[in-house]
Structure 1
């Protein structure tokens, strides 16, 4: 959002925000307005932006080659996309959110999975897509973390994007994701805040408490 935050229409818009609406701003003056309309009902989450102009296929392939023979990487086909979208669990819950259905994903998106035998254990795919780029979302089963799965599967996705002239955009919500971006070859491009409307003060307080326990970044807006 941008423009003059002091306009009357802004206050009216903010009063009608839906639960967990997420806002980001291109101009100053907005955070005080948020707090005045809905005091103590906001979560301010830092995000880390990255540039993709220095990615190197050779480096990405080296990351893929480090993957253990226990695993294999496969490009997401229609059957996999349907499985990801229909069987929502801790691995797939955040995946393919910007697509209407599996067919829409196959038409506009792109993604890769890591398998251990027949089990899908890591996914790196377009969460959303536009004509010339995608927003990458990567998830790995917690019990499989620390083995380079997210790194390898993301590298495979990025190589495919680069070969097809698609911008593999990476925008990190956590320092872990930011670290992975740097490992893959992305260049840091600054930090910014997104504001999440919780509607109720108790929810904002609980989420801040929970994220501190989990050591996730959260800022008092």
Structure 2
């Protein structure tokens, strides 16, 4: 199976990150099926779910991570794969349905920006800020990117402060030549003040400047994330399945 990141149906951003060598990972291929995984233990399965020669490879990778008590998170690419995963690993994995949104660039560019709330300051994430960030610190970056230096080269993020207090922040948890996926958090003390929309708008504009597409995924019941996505003109959510170790 030859994987061409430019033509395949959109899969999770981290799969493209591995294919484009933005981050370290593994690509396991057998005939018409493939498993793409990050070094942090996040995987995407794709291709022919009926490939019986591929099933042992998937099982082996899961058992290897399980024996080491390491993370194993698996993204399914279709309902057919959902059924196959349940057959192979249903006793070991728990399904978590999620939304993947599509960004409407035209509507975003035509819309009114929320901008920076009065009294706040918008900052770009850098090596120095990662040492003091509340959520997206250097340990977080090393977990998903492998190193701060790699993130500084290929990733990006923004944070908002009020009198040097972190009010909200976002980063590209994964990036590739085509996409950047947002991870975003707001300090509970500053919710309802437009902080999340401010950093998210900055993230989107940075994506457009880099000529890549912003990606927004969240859990089915994360109403706050869904509302914010809609404000930013992410629409037409498609449901997919994520599996985590029980």
| 1:62-100 deviation per Cα after TM superposition (whole angstroms, max 9, x unaligned) | 2115x2x2321111233113444xxxx5x3369545322
**Correspondence for 2:171 among 121, 125, 129:** 125
Match of 2:77 in 1: 26
Instruction: State the alpha-carbon separation in 2 of the partners of residues 50 and 39 from structure 1.
Output: 27
- Tell me whether 1:92 sits opposite 2:141 in the alignment: no
Distance 1:40 1:4, change over 3 A: closer
State the shift of 1:197 in Å. Answer: 2.3
Aligned alpha-carbon RMSD (Å):
2.6
State the shift of 1:184 in Å. Answer: 0.9
**Correspondence for 2:93 among 42, 52, 66:** 42
Instruction: State the alpha-carbon separation in 2 of the partners of residues 165 and 72 from structure 1.
Output: 25
- Tell me whether 1:10 sits opposite 2:62 in the alignment: no
1:64 aligned counterpart, secondary structure: coil
Corresponding pairs, count:
190
Match of 2:25 in 1: none
- Tell me whether 1:74 sits opposite 2:118 in the alignment: no
Cα pair 1:82 1:102 within 8 Å, conserved: no
Cα pair 2:123 2:158 within 8 Å, conserved: yes
2:206 aligned counterpart, secondary structure: helix
- Tell me whether 1:57 sits opposite 2:109 in the alignment: yes
| 1:87-135 deviation per Cα after TM superposition (whole angstroms, max 9, x unaligned) | xx5x336954532222222211111101121122211111111123211
TM-score with structure 2 length normalisation?
Answer: 0.66
Cα pair 2:157 2:172 within 8 Å, conserved: yes
Distance 1:32 1:157, change over 3 A: closer
TM-score with structure 1 length normalisation?
Answer: 0.73
Distance 1:182 1:7, change over 3 A: same
Instruction: State the alpha-carbon separation in 1 of the partners of residues 185 and 215 from structure 2.
Output: 16
Instruction: Decide which structure has greater strand share.
Output: 2
Instruction: State the alpha-carbon separation in 2 of the partners of residues 21 and 161 from structure 1.
Output: 29
- Tell me whether 1:142 sits opposite 2:142 in the alignment: no
What residue ranges of structure 1 are gaps of 5+ in the alignment?
199-221
State the shift of 1:15 in Å. Answer: 5.4
Instruction: State the alpha-carbon separation in 1 of the partners of residues 180 and 81 from structure 2.
Output: 28
Instruction: State the alpha-carbon separation in 2 of the partners of residues 51 and 32 from structure 1.
Output: 25
State the shift of 1:155 in Å. Answer: 0.7
Instruction: State the alpha-carbon separation in 1 of the partners of residues 89 and 212 from structure 2.
Output: 40
Match of 2:5 in 1: none
Match of 2:213 in 1: 167
- Tell me whether 1:115 sits opposite 2:161 in the alignment: yes
Match of 1:201 in 2: none
Distance 1:26 1:157, change over 3 A: closer
2:55 aligned counterpart, secondary structure: helix
- Tell me whether 1:194 sits opposite 2:242 in the alignment: yes
